[in-house]
Chains A and B, each alone.
Chain A
């Protein structure tokens, strides 16, 4: 089945550092999304990408929709302690032009990248 390979699985950050993570797949998707999950909470949508090559920012976060439509990247600049948590990539075949029903219409998630503060 379709899978999203997210890396790294975990990383430690020091305040002020830039952070990068990515998500790849062998399948083509029409929408890519990035979520963050704080401890004890559900995932919250950070950024949504709808077009191949699109680069979108949300404060210190920047995400890109890969030109091949098979990958996406998330960068966090000048990290701060509240950036810790689990980041999930997610992808979708649906878009403004194309609609897939049934299980093909569901969002697929990566396994997450856990961000922790360097001891």
Chain B
């Protein structure tokens, strides 16, 4: 019963470096999401994938790209990291249909850009 698994848990990048945050869920959910969490800002949606094969921008998409690799996996890529992208990143998933009730979150990736 792994739920939503995020890797890595911690990462330090230098400004300008690139990296991909990985997310996988084993609950057969069709929708997946990437959020960032900063102090006092709550959870802000970066990108989401309502179903396999689709991705859409959320509230704060600049500087990020995503790939819905298959139904299980949804990755977030930083092409050229900036200090403003220092944050905690959460992946979430859910069934997106009538009776949808809540998201299941991973435990987060703590990213520091120096």
A-side residues, CB < 8 A to B, are 9, 31, 33, 35, 40-45, 48, 50, 88, 90, 92, 94-99, 101-103, 105-107, 109-112
Contacts and interface: CB of A to CB of B under 8 A. Distances in A.
B103 interface: yes
For this complex, into which size category does the number of interface residues on chain B fall?
A: 20 to 34
A99 B50 contact: no
Contact of A43 (B41, B98, B105): B105
A102 B106 CA distance: 23
Given A96-B98, A112-B42, A107 B103 contact: yes
Contacts of B98: 94-99
A48 B102 contact: yes
A92 B100 contact: yes
| Residue among A88, A94, A98, A102 with most chain B CB within 10 A | A94
17 contacts: A35-B102, A40-B107, A41-B108, A43-B105, A45-B103, A48-B102, A88-B42, A88-B43, A94-B99, A94-B100, A99-B97, A99-B98, A103-B56, A105-B100, A106-B33, A106-B48, A107-B103
Contacts of A111: 40-42
B102 A107 contact: yes
Contacts of A97: 98
A35 B94 CA distance: 15
Interface string B74-92: 0000000000000000101
Helix, strand, loop or mixed for chain A's interface? loop
Contacts of A94: 98-100
B76 to A, nearest CB: 15
Given A42-B108, A44-B105, A101-B50, A106 B100 contact: no
Contacts of B100: 31, 92, 94, 105
A23 B64 CA distance: 30
